[in-house]
Amino acid sequence: MTLLLVGAGSQVYREYLLASVATEYDVHLLADRAPAWEAAYLSGHSVVDTSDVAAMATAVRQLAVEGVLTWDDTRVVQTAELAELLGLPGSTSRAALACRDKRATRLALDEAGVPQARSVLVTSLPQARAAAARVGYPLVLKPRALNASTGVVQVPSADRLASRFRLARGARTPGAVEVVPGDVLVEEYLDGPEISVDAAWFRGRMEPAFVARKECGFPPYFEETGHLVDGSDPLQGDPAVLEVVARAHRAVGFATGWTHTELRLTAHGPKIVEINARIGGDRIPDIGRLALGTDAALTAARVACGAEPDIRPGRRRVAGVRFCYPDADCLARQVRIDAAALPPSVTKALPIALPGQELRLPPHGQVAGRYALVTAVADTPQECRAELEKAAGAVRLEVLRPLADPRTPNA
């Protein structure tokens, strides 16, 4: 069976997904460049502008295609449109847009009464000030349709609003086709732990796969520095969490595919942060597989080809991922991993930074400061975190030179 994949993504973050899908499908890649590392997993490819749905359809018109899939957040809408155009399974492009456009998500959830943050769309600083007076401090500023927490920042008080609004409004994601560039959401700050729920959907029915607990750093920014999946965590089947997730998907009309939903566990119950119409990033599917035995990529591919998902945990362990960051912005010389110093529990230790790469910490870079990642498996969350800490100590960054701070507003 031939599966169309729209964009392969980064090798460090997405190769394991493609490798899994290729065990069961002939994968034809649609991308804006010829394949490099991806070539070993492909049956074919087309170099095409993946923001142009008609061009993608033309490129594959001679193929007998069973389904179309993407794990690129910037192409979920175009992928849904392509599936509709080709008559293939999947959720509607309208539902994909309702997830991609965070303002549309908020409106749909509000109309359905789904618990979430209060939110006001603004396009200027005076509007932001007026919205902040309604929402109250502390609050969060969030670009309307970016990903990876790009431009998302907490504002504790009115005297910080102007500089942080400029930061949020000026944020961009390379390759993204923005809904309305510059639009910003002024949102209520939701206190409490942040989690994500990855789930398969088939004709409106949810098959929960795994819940991950997020670890965030670099306040007031929301940089995700690690994730943990505990197979025995009560959250894996928590009725309140799953009910909110199900209601949110009904509200946006998402019925078939795979989603990565982010929530905060507030004192008033779980509330939706956002819905992403694709597989989770940051190697969350990898630690989900290590902890529970669930293959997110293969399940998502099967659903994209019209098969009903069947997710049954094969084990109950704890797995985590930790990202390594420099102490300050710098130019990387090399990442060295002392394999002999890695604990036996470590499943992966991978360099992210290339020689000569700029590493920028928030607010000058979002996830752009990571120079390596480590994943590990253990029996308890405490053991897993301790093993990840040891593993991170076996990874060393050699720095060419520090980087001067670019001129930005005082945030």
334 with 403, same domain: the answer is yes
Q: How far apart are CA 212 and CA 191, in angstroms?
A: 17
**Does 210 fall in a domain?**
no
Lowest-pLDDT range, 30-44, 178-192, 196-210, 375-389?
Answer: 178-192
324 with 405, same domain: the answer is yes
- Domain span holding position 351: 317-411
β-pairing verdict for 372-378 and 223-230: unpaired
Lowest-pLDDT range, 72-81, 165-174, 284-293, 336-345?
Answer: 165-174
Residue whose C-alpha is closest to residue 55's, from 72, 71, 75: 75
Check whether 409 has a pLDDT greater than 50: no
**Does 111 fall in a domain?**
no
What is the arithmetic mean of pLDDT over 320-332? 97
60 with 136, same domain: the answer is no
**Does 275 fall in a domain?**
no
pLDDT in tens, 294-311: 999 999 999 999 999 999
What is the arithmetic mean of pLDDT over 92-97? 97
pLDDT in tens, 152-210: 999 999 999 999 999 888 876 665 555 556 699 999 999 999 999 999 999 999 999 99
3-class SS of residue 382: helix
70 with 144, same domain: the answer is no
346 with 386, same domain: the answer is yes
Residue-by-residue DSSP string for 274-323: EEESS--STTHHHHHHHHH---HHHHHHHHHTTPPP--------EEEEEE
Q: Say which residue the tokens 């308890």 belong to.
A: 380
The residues that bridge with 324 in the sheet, in sequence order, are: 372
123 with 78, same domain: the answer is no
63 with 7, same domain: the answer is yes
**Does 136 fall in a domain?**
yes
Average pLDDT, the chain: 94
pLDDT in tens, 243-257: 999 999 999 999 999
Residue 38 CA neighbour count, 13 Å, CB half = 26
**Does 8 fall in a domain?**
yes
Q: How far apart are CA 8 and CA 1, in angstroms?
A: 18
47 with 135, same domain: the answer is no
81 with 124, same domain: the answer is no
Q: Which of 166, 188, 210 is the last residue of a domain?
A: 188
Q: Which of 159, 188, 217 is the last residue of a domain?
A: 188
Give me the pLDDT at residue 101, please: 93
What is the arithmetic mean of pLDDT over 30-59? 98
What is the arithmetic mean of pLDDT over 29-52? 98
Q: Say which residue the tokens 């912005």 belong to.
A: 329
CATH code at position 402: 3.90.1170.60
The domain total for the chain is 3
pLDDT in tens, 2-22: 999 999 999 999 999 999 999
**Does 174 fall in a domain?**
yes
Q: Which of 188, 204, 228 is the last residue of a domain?
A: 188
What is the arithmetic mean of pLDDT over 28-41? 98
321 with 410, same domain: the answer is yes
Q: 409: alpha, beta or left, given left = phi > 0 and alpha = psi -120 to 50?
A: beta
**Does 109 fall in a domain?**
no
- Edge-to-edge strand list for the sheet holding 44-47: 44-47, 26-31, 2-6, 65-69
**Does 289 fall in a domain?**
no
Give me the pLDDT at residue 167, please: 87
126 with 38, same domain: the answer is no
363 with 322, same domain: the answer is yes
Given a contact cutoff of 8 angstroms between Cβ atoms, the answer to whether 279 and 180 are in contact is: no
- How would you write 85-99 as a 3-class SS string? HHCCCCCCHHHHHHH
Give me the pLDDT at residue 148, please: 61
CATH code at position 53: 3.40.50.20
Confidence label for 144 from pLDDT (cuts 50, 70 and 90): confident
CATH code at position 163: 3.30.1490.20
**Residue 16: is it exposed, middle or buried by C-beta count within 10 angstroms (0-12/13-18/19+)?**
middle
What is the arithmetic mean of pLDDT over 81-108? 96
Give me the pLDDT at residue 344, please: 97
pTM of the model as a whole = 0.94
